Amino acid sequence: MKHPWNYLINAGLVPEELESFFDDLEQEEVREALRDLNVEPWLKDLIHALLLELGGDAEAALRIIERIDEENFYVLYNRQRLYVILGDFEKAEECDKALKKTDLDKRQRCLVENEHGKSLWKKSLYGDAIARFTDVLETALELGDKFLESTGYNNIAIVLLDTGDYQQARELFTKALEADSVLKNERGIAISELNLGECCRRMGDFESAKEFFDECINAVEPLDEYEKTRLSSDCYWNLGQIYVQEHDFEKAHENFERALALAEKTGDKELTVRVYLSLGALAVEEKKLYDAQAHMQSAYEIAKAINSKKHEAESYALRGRIYEKERKYAEALQSYGLAIFLFRQINDRYNMARMEEAAGSIYLLQGDKERASEYFRKAKAKYAALSYRDFVAVDEKLKEIES
Protein backbone atom coordinates (compact mmCIF):
# COMPACT_ATOMS: atom_id res chain seq x y z
CA MET A 1 0.00 0.00 0.00
CA LYS A 2 1.46 3.36 -1.06
CA HIS A 3 1.87 6.46 1.05
CA PRO A 4 -0.33 8.25 2.09
CA TRP A 5 -2.78 5.37 2.40
CA ASN A 6 -0.73 3.50 5.00
CA TYR A 7 -0.69 6.73 7.01
CA LEU A 8 -4.51 7.05 6.82
CA ILE A 9 -4.92 3.49 8.14
CA ASN A 10 -2.25 3.78 10.87
CA ALA A 11 -3.59 7.15 12.02
CA GLY A 12 -7.09 5.70 12.37
CA LEU A 13 -8.60 8.16 9.89
CA VAL A 14 -10.46 5.46 7.93
CA PRO A 15 -11.57 1.91 8.79
CA GLU A 16 -8.92 -0.81 8.44
CA GLU A 17 -11.11 -2.80 6.03
CA LEU A 18 -10.36 -0.15 3.37
CA GLU A 19 -6.69 -1.17 3.27
CA SER A 20 -7.19 -3.41 0.23
CA PHE A 21 -9.12 -0.67 -1.58
CA PHE A 22 -6.12 1.67 -1.46
CA ASP A 23 -3.57 -0.88 -2.68
CA ASP A 24 -1.39 0.48 -5.50
CA LEU A 25 -3.71 3.40 -6.27
CA GLU A 26 -2.55 6.94 -6.95
CA GLN A 27 -4.67 9.76 -5.51
CA GLU A 28 -6.39 10.48 -8.85
CA GLU A 29 -7.14 6.77 -9.25
CA VAL A 30 -8.76 6.74 -5.79
CA ARG A 31 -11.15 9.48 -6.91
CA GLU A 32 -12.18 7.36 -9.90
CA ALA A 33 -12.44 4.14 -7.89
CA LEU A 34 -14.66 5.82 -5.28
CA ARG A 35 -17.55 5.85 -7.74
CA ASP A 36 -17.73 2.06 -7.79
CA LEU A 37 -16.79 1.48 -4.15
CA ASN A 38 -19.59 -0.41 -2.40
CA VAL A 39 -19.64 1.45 0.92
CA GLU A 40 -22.02 3.81 2.69
CA PRO A 41 -22.25 7.40 1.31
CA TRP A 42 -20.76 8.93 4.46
CA LEU A 43 -17.54 6.95 3.97
CA LYS A 44 -17.24 8.07 0.35
CA ASP A 45 -17.64 11.68 1.52
CA LEU A 46 -15.03 11.13 4.23
CA ILE A 47 -12.47 9.76 1.75
CA HIS A 48 -13.19 12.65 -0.61
CA ALA A 49 -12.56 15.09 2.27
CA LEU A 50 -9.29 13.37 3.20
CA LEU A 51 -8.12 13.63 -0.43
CA LEU A 52 -8.68 17.39 -0.21
CA GLU A 53 -6.77 17.56 3.07
CA LEU A 54 -3.89 15.59 1.56
CA GLY A 55 -3.84 18.20 -1.20
CA GLY A 56 -3.47 20.96 1.38
CA ASP A 57 -7.07 22.23 1.53
CA ALA A 58 -8.06 21.50 5.12
CA GLU A 59 -10.89 24.07 5.07
CA ALA A 60 -12.62 22.40 2.11
CA ALA A 61 -12.13 19.01 3.79
CA LEU A 62 -13.79 20.27 6.95
CA ARG A 63 -16.77 21.69 5.05
CA ILE A 64 -17.49 18.23 3.60
CA ILE A 65 -17.08 16.44 6.93
CA GLU A 66 -19.32 18.96 8.70
CA ARG A 67 -22.09 18.10 6.21
CA ILE A 68 -21.94 14.35 6.94
CA ASP A 69 -25.02 13.35 8.98
CA GLU A 70 -23.44 10.19 10.39
CA GLU A 71 -21.71 10.80 13.73
CA ASN A 72 -19.52 7.75 14.30
CA PHE A 73 -15.89 7.62 15.43
CA TYR A 74 -14.36 8.30 11.99
CA VAL A 75 -16.53 11.33 11.27
CA LEU A 76 -16.20 12.89 14.74
CA TYR A 77 -12.49 12.13 14.98
CA ASN A 78 -11.67 13.68 11.60
CA ARG A 79 -13.76 16.73 12.50
CA GLN A 80 -11.80 17.03 15.75
CA ARG A 81 -8.47 16.78 13.91
CA LEU A 82 -9.39 19.43 11.35
CA TYR A 83 -10.74 21.80 13.99
CA VAL A 84 -7.38 21.50 15.79
CA ILE A 85 -5.45 22.05 12.54
CA LEU A 86 -7.52 25.16 11.75
CA GLY A 87 -7.40 26.51 15.31
CA ASP A 88 -11.09 26.20 16.20
CA PHE A 89 -10.41 24.77 19.65
CA GLU A 90 -13.94 25.29 20.98
CA LYS A 91 -15.44 23.02 18.30
CA ALA A 92 -12.57 20.57 18.72
CA GLU A 93 -13.50 20.35 22.41
CA GLU A 94 -17.13 19.64 21.49
CA CYS A 95 -15.98 16.76 19.27
CA ASP A 96 -13.73 15.50 22.05
CA LYS A 97 -16.68 15.37 24.44
CA ALA A 98 -18.91 13.66 21.87
CA LEU A 99 -16.23 11.05 21.12
CA LYS A 100 -15.75 10.22 24.78
CA LYS A 101 -19.46 9.36 25.00
CA THR A 102 -19.11 6.75 22.25
CA ASP A 103 -17.88 3.17 22.53
CA LEU A 104 -14.17 3.50 21.67
CA ASP A 105 -11.49 0.87 21.85
CA LYS A 106 -8.20 1.62 23.62
CA ARG A 107 -6.39 2.69 20.43
CA GLN A 108 -9.21 5.03 19.39
CA ARG A 109 -9.26 6.63 22.85
CA CYS A 110 -5.51 7.12 22.47
CA LEU A 111 -5.94 8.89 19.09
CA VAL A 112 -8.60 11.20 20.54
CA GLU A 113 -6.36 11.97 23.53
CA ASN A 114 -3.53 12.81 21.15
CA GLU A 115 -5.66 15.41 19.34
CA HIS A 116 -6.68 16.88 22.68
CA GLY A 117 -2.97 17.18 23.51
CA LYS A 118 -2.32 18.98 20.21
CA SER A 119 -5.10 21.43 21.01
CA LEU A 120 -3.55 22.15 24.42
CA TRP A 121 -0.09 22.54 22.85
CA LYS A 122 -1.39 25.00 20.24
CA LYS A 123 -3.01 27.00 23.05
CA SER A 124 0.45 27.04 24.74
CA LEU A 125 -0.78 24.96 27.71
CA TYR A 126 2.46 23.01 27.64
CA GLY A 127 2.23 21.15 30.95
CA ASP A 128 -1.26 19.85 30.17
CA ALA A 129 -0.19 18.93 26.63
CA ILE A 130 2.76 16.87 27.89
CA ALA A 131 0.44 15.04 30.31
CA ARG A 132 -1.86 14.06 27.42
CA PHE A 133 1.00 13.03 25.14
CA THR A 134 2.54 10.99 27.96
CA ASP A 135 -0.75 9.09 28.30
CA VAL A 136 -0.64 8.43 24.54
CA LEU A 137 2.92 7.12 24.78
CA GLU A 138 2.16 4.87 27.76
CA THR A 139 -0.84 3.37 25.95
CA ALA A 140 1.23 2.89 22.77
CA LEU A 141 3.92 1.00 24.71
CA GLU A 142 1.25 -1.10 26.40
CA LEU A 143 -0.31 -1.97 23.01
CA GLY A 144 3.06 -2.46 21.29
CA ASP A 145 1.89 0.06 18.67
CA LYS A 146 4.98 1.55 16.95
CA PHE A 147 2.98 4.19 15.06
CA LEU A 148 1.47 5.60 18.26
CA GLU A 149 4.81 5.17 20.03
CA SER A 150 6.50 7.41 17.45
CA THR A 151 3.59 9.86 17.72
CA GLY A 152 3.93 10.05 21.51
CA TYR A 153 7.71 10.53 21.48
CA ASN A 154 7.53 13.17 18.75
CA ASN A 155 4.74 15.18 20.35
CA ILE A 156 6.33 15.26 23.82
CA ALA A 157 9.63 16.28 22.22
CA ILE A 158 8.00 19.08 20.22
CA VAL A 159 6.62 20.58 23.44
CA LEU A 160 10.07 20.26 25.07
CA LEU A 161 11.55 21.99 22.02
CA ASP A 162 9.14 24.89 22.52
CA THR A 163 10.06 25.15 26.20
CA GLY A 164 13.82 24.98 25.62
CA ASP A 165 14.63 21.48 26.91
CA TYR A 166 16.65 20.59 23.81
CA GLN A 167 18.71 17.70 25.14
CA GLN A 168 15.69 15.69 26.30
CA ALA A 169 13.83 16.61 23.12
CA ARG A 170 16.70 15.22 21.03
CA GLU A 171 16.62 11.94 22.94
CA LEU A 172 12.88 11.54 22.36
CA PHE A 173 13.08 12.49 18.66
CA THR A 174 15.75 9.78 18.31
CA LYS A 175 13.38 7.23 19.89
CA ALA A 176 10.63 8.34 17.48
CA LEU A 177 13.00 7.82 14.55
CA GLU A 178 13.83 4.33 15.82
CA ALA A 179 10.12 3.43 16.04
CA ASP A 180 9.45 4.76 12.53
CA SER A 181 12.44 2.87 11.15
CA VAL A 182 11.06 -0.39 12.55
CA LEU A 183 7.73 0.40 10.84
CA LYS A 184 9.48 1.58 7.65
CA ASN A 185 7.19 4.59 7.95
CA GLU A 186 8.60 6.98 5.32
CA ARG A 187 6.51 9.94 6.47
CA GLY A 188 7.43 9.39 10.12
CA ILE A 189 11.12 9.00 9.30
CA ALA A 190 11.12 12.30 7.39
CA ILE A 191 9.33 14.12 10.23
CA SER A 192 11.70 12.72 12.87
CA GLU A 193 14.74 13.76 10.79
CA LEU A 194 13.29 17.27 10.39
CA ASN A 195 12.68 17.48 14.15
CA LEU A 196 16.17 16.21 14.98
CA GLY A 197 17.65 18.77 12.60
CA GLU A 198 15.76 21.61 14.26
CA CYS A 199 16.83 20.36 17.68
CA CYS A 200 20.50 20.30 16.62
CA ARG A 201 20.15 23.77 15.11
CA ARG A 202 18.80 25.20 18.36
CA MET A 203 21.64 23.53 20.27
CA GLY A 204 24.17 25.16 17.92
CA ASP A 205 25.28 21.87 16.30
CA PHE A 206 24.93 23.20 12.74
CA GLU A 207 26.79 20.44 10.93
CA SER A 208 24.58 17.71 12.41
CA ALA A 209 21.53 19.86 11.70
CA LYS A 210 22.43 20.25 8.02
CA GLU A 211 22.90 16.49 7.73
CA PHE A 212 19.45 15.82 9.19
CA PHE A 213 17.82 18.40 6.88
CA ASP A 214 19.53 16.87 3.84
CA GLU A 215 18.34 13.43 4.95
CA CYS A 216 14.79 14.74 5.41
CA ILE A 217 14.74 16.35 1.94
CA ASN A 218 15.86 13.01 0.47
CA ALA A 219 13.39 11.05 2.62
CA VAL A 220 10.34 13.04 1.42
CA GLU A 221 10.80 12.02 -2.23
CA PRO A 222 8.43 8.98 -2.06
CA LEU A 223 5.73 11.02 -0.28
CA ASP A 224 2.72 12.70 -1.87
CA GLU A 225 3.23 16.20 -3.25
CA TYR A 226 1.67 18.09 -0.32
CA GLU A 227 3.71 16.33 2.37
CA LYS A 228 6.87 16.60 0.29
CA THR A 229 6.30 20.34 -0.16
CA ARG A 230 5.39 20.95 3.49
CA LEU A 231 8.36 19.11 4.99
CA SER A 232 10.84 20.48 2.43
CA SER A 233 9.73 24.06 3.14
CA ASP A 234 10.41 23.56 6.86
CA CYS A 235 13.89 22.21 6.06
CA TYR A 236 14.69 25.26 3.91
CA TRP A 237 13.52 27.60 6.69
CA ASN A 238 15.79 25.86 9.17
CA LEU A 239 18.72 25.98 6.75
CA GLY A 240 18.10 29.70 6.33
CA GLN A 241 18.33 30.11 10.11
CA ILE A 242 21.69 28.32 10.12
CA TYR A 243 23.09 30.49 7.33
CA VAL A 244 22.07 33.62 9.26
CA GLN A 245 24.09 32.33 12.22
CA GLU A 246 27.00 31.69 9.87
CA HIS A 247 26.63 35.22 8.38
CA ASP A 248 26.06 33.84 4.88
CA PHE A 249 23.16 36.19 4.19
CA GLU A 250 22.90 35.35 0.50
CA LYS A 251 22.27 31.67 1.23
CA ALA A 252 19.94 32.64 4.08
CA HIS A 253 17.79 34.75 1.73
CA GLU A 254 17.77 31.98 -0.84
CA ASN A 255 16.53 29.40 1.64
CA PHE A 256 13.97 31.70 3.29
CA GLU A 257 12.45 32.69 -0.04
CA ARG A 258 12.30 29.05 -1.08
CA ALA A 259 10.60 28.17 2.22
CA LEU A 260 8.12 31.06 1.87
CA ALA A 261 7.10 30.06 -1.66
CA LEU A 262 6.49 26.46 -0.58
CA ALA A 263 4.69 27.45 2.65
CA GLU A 264 2.32 29.72 0.74
CA LYS A 265 1.75 26.94 -1.81
CA THR A 266 0.60 24.58 0.94
CA GLY A 267 -1.25 27.26 2.93
CA ASP A 268 0.94 26.61 5.99
CA LYS A 269 0.34 29.81 7.97
CA GLU A 270 2.42 28.71 10.94
CA LEU A 271 5.49 28.29 8.75
CA THR A 272 4.66 31.45 6.76
CA VAL A 273 4.74 33.56 9.92
CA ARG A 274 8.07 32.00 10.92
CA VAL A 275 9.58 32.86 7.53
CA TYR A 276 8.38 36.47 7.74
CA LEU A 277 9.93 36.78 11.20
CA SER A 278 13.20 35.35 9.88
CA LEU A 279 13.22 37.67 6.86
CA GLY A 280 12.57 40.57 9.24
CA ALA A 281 15.46 39.57 11.50
CA LEU A 282 17.73 39.21 8.47
CA ALA A 283 16.70 42.66 7.22
CA VAL A 284 17.69 44.09 10.62
CA GLU A 285 21.13 42.49 10.27
CA GLU A 286 21.44 44.06 6.83
CA LYS A 287 20.24 47.43 8.19
CA LYS A 288 17.20 47.41 5.90
CA LEU A 289 14.85 48.61 8.60
CA TYR A 290 11.96 49.53 6.30
CA ASP A 291 11.91 45.95 4.98
CA ALA A 292 12.22 44.62 8.53
CA GLN A 293 9.19 46.64 9.62
CA ALA A 294 7.11 45.30 6.70
CA HIS A 295 8.05 41.69 7.44
CA MET A 296 7.34 42.18 11.15
CA GLN A 297 3.87 43.59 10.42
CA SER A 298 3.05 40.64 8.12
CA ALA A 299 4.19 38.22 10.82
CA TYR A 300 2.20 39.96 13.56
CA GLU A 301 -1.03 39.94 11.53
CA ILE A 302 -0.74 36.22 10.75
CA ALA A 303 0.17 35.43 14.37
CA LYS A 304 -3.00 37.18 15.58
CA ALA A 305 -5.09 35.45 12.90
CA ILE A 306 -3.94 31.98 13.95
CA ASN A 307 -4.03 32.85 17.67
CA SER A 308 -0.34 32.08 18.24
CA LYS A 309 1.02 33.75 21.39
CA LYS A 310 4.49 32.45 20.58
CA HIS A 311 4.64 34.16 17.20
CA GLU A 312 2.94 37.26 18.53
CA ALA A 313 5.67 37.45 21.17
CA GLU A 314 8.33 36.95 18.50
CA SER A 315 6.79 39.81 16.50
CA TYR A 316 7.18 42.10 19.53
CA ALA A 317 10.76 40.87 19.93
CA LEU A 318 11.50 41.77 16.30
CA ARG A 319 9.84 45.16 16.76
CA GLY A 320 12.11 45.72 19.77
CA ARG A 321 15.20 44.97 17.66
CA ILE A 322 14.05 47.43 14.99
CA TYR A 323 13.52 50.15 17.61
CA GLU A 324 16.91 49.34 19.11
CA LYS A 325 18.60 49.81 15.73
CA GLU A 326 16.77 53.13 15.39
CA ARG A 327 18.07 54.06 18.87
CA LYS A 328 14.51 54.39 20.17
CA TYR A 329 15.44 52.70 23.42
CA ALA A 330 12.28 53.41 25.43
CA GLU A 331 10.14 51.90 22.66
CA ALA A 332 12.52 48.93 22.37
CA LEU A 333 12.28 48.21 26.11
CA GLN A 334 8.49 48.39 25.92
CA SER A 335 8.41 45.89 23.03
CA TYR A 336 10.81 43.54 24.82
CA GLY A 337 8.64 43.80 27.91
CA LEU A 338 5.54 42.78 25.97
CA ALA A 339 7.48 39.89 24.44
CA ILE A 340 8.65 38.73 27.89
CA PHE A 341 5.05 38.89 29.16
CA LEU A 342 3.80 36.64 26.33
CA PHE A 343 6.76 34.25 26.50
CA ARG A 344 6.13 33.89 30.25
CA GLN A 345 2.50 32.94 29.54
CA ILE A 346 3.65 30.02 27.39
CA ASN A 347 6.60 29.13 29.63
CA ASP A 348 9.17 29.74 26.87
CA ARG A 349 12.19 30.18 29.12
CA TYR A 350 14.79 30.43 26.39
CA ASN A 351 13.08 33.32 24.63
CA MET A 352 12.35 35.01 27.96
CA ALA A 353 16.11 34.86 28.59
CA ARG A 354 16.81 36.30 25.12
CA MET A 355 14.52 39.25 25.81
CA GLU A 356 16.00 39.81 29.28
CA GLU A 357 19.49 39.80 27.80
CA ALA A 358 18.38 42.28 25.11
CA ALA A 359 16.82 44.56 27.75
CA GLY A 360 20.00 44.32 29.84
CA SER A 361 22.07 45.42 26.84
CA ILE A 362 19.89 48.52 26.36
CA TYR A 363 20.17 49.48 30.03
CA LEU A 364 23.94 49.07 29.74
CA LEU A 365 23.98 51.38 26.69
CA GLN A 366 22.07 53.94 28.78
CA GLY A 367 24.60 53.65 31.59
CA ASP A 368 22.20 51.99 34.05
CA LYS A 369 24.52 49.21 35.24
CA GLU A 370 22.26 48.20 38.11
CA ARG A 371 19.28 47.46 35.85
CA ALA A 372 21.55 45.89 33.23
CA SER A 373 23.02 43.54 35.84
CA GLU A 374 19.52 42.65 37.08
CA TYR A 375 18.38 41.58 33.61
CA PHE A 376 21.63 39.80 32.74
CA ARG A 377 21.36 37.75 35.95
CA LYS A 378 17.81 36.71 35.08
CA ALA A 379 18.93 35.69 31.61
CA LYS A 380 22.00 33.86 32.94
CA ALA A 381 19.91 31.79 35.36
CA LYS A 382 17.53 30.67 32.61
CA TYR A 383 20.32 29.87 30.14
CA ALA A 384 22.15 27.87 32.82
CA ALA A 385 18.99 25.91 33.70
CA LEU A 386 18.56 25.06 30.02
CA SER A 387 22.25 24.16 29.56
CA TYR A 388 22.28 26.57 26.63
CA ARG A 389 25.51 28.02 25.28
CA ASP A 390 24.26 31.64 25.52
CA PHE A 391 25.07 31.30 29.24
CA VAL A 392 28.75 31.96 28.46
CA ALA A 393 28.16 35.21 26.57
CA VAL A 394 25.84 36.73 29.16
CA ASP A 395 28.20 35.69 31.96
CA GLU A 396 30.98 37.66 30.25
CA LYS A 397 28.73 40.73 30.15
CA LEU A 398 28.08 40.40 33.89
CA LYS A 399 31.79 40.08 34.64
CA GLU A 400 32.47 43.20 32.59
CA ILE A 401 29.88 45.20 34.52
CA GLU A 402 31.09 43.98 37.91
CA SER A 403 34.86 44.33 37.24
pLDDT tens per residue, range 78-111: 999 999 988 888 999 999 999 988 899 999 999 9
pLDDT tens per residue, range 257-292: 999 999 888 888 888 999 999 999 999 999 999 999
pLDDT of residue 331: 96
Specify whether 353 is located in the same domain as 339.
no
Residue 400 contacts by C-beta under 8 Å, 6 or more apart in sequence? none
pLDDT of residue 392: 64
pLDDT above 60: residue 388: no
pLDDT above 80: residue 47: yes
pLDDT of residue 177: 95
pLDDT tens per residue, range 195-224: 999 999 989 999 999 999 999 999 998 887
Specify whether 44 is located in the same domain as 94.
yes
Specify whether 333 is located in the same domain as 354.
no
In a domain, 34, yes or no: yes
How many distinct structural domains can be found in the chain?
A: 3
Q: Which residues of 193-213 are buried (b: 16+ CB within 10 A; e: fewer)?
A: bbbbbbbbbbbebbebbbebb
- 137/154 Cα distance (integer angstroms): 10
Specify whether 95 is located in the same domain as 7.
yes
pLDDT of residue 348: 82
Specify whether 331 is located in the same domain as 379.
no
Print the domain residue range for 392. Answer: 348-403
In a domain, 320, yes or no: yes
Mean pLDDT of the chain: 90
Specify whether 366 is located in the same domain as 340.
no
In a domain, 80, yes or no: yes
pLDDT above 60: residue 186: yes
Mean pLDDT of 234-249: 94
In a domain, 65, yes or no: yes
In a domain, 149, yes or no: no
pLDDT above 70: residue 3: no
pLDDT above 50: residue 1: no
In a domain, 21, yes or no: yes
Residue 358 contacts by C-beta under 8 Å, 6 or more apart in sequence? 317, 320, 321, 324, 332, 336
In a domain, 308, yes or no: yes
Question: What is the pTM assigned to this prediction?
Answer: 0.76
pLDDT above 80: residue 398: no
pLDDT tens per residue, range 5-20: 888 888 899 998 888 8
- 273/59 Cα distance (integer angstroms): 19
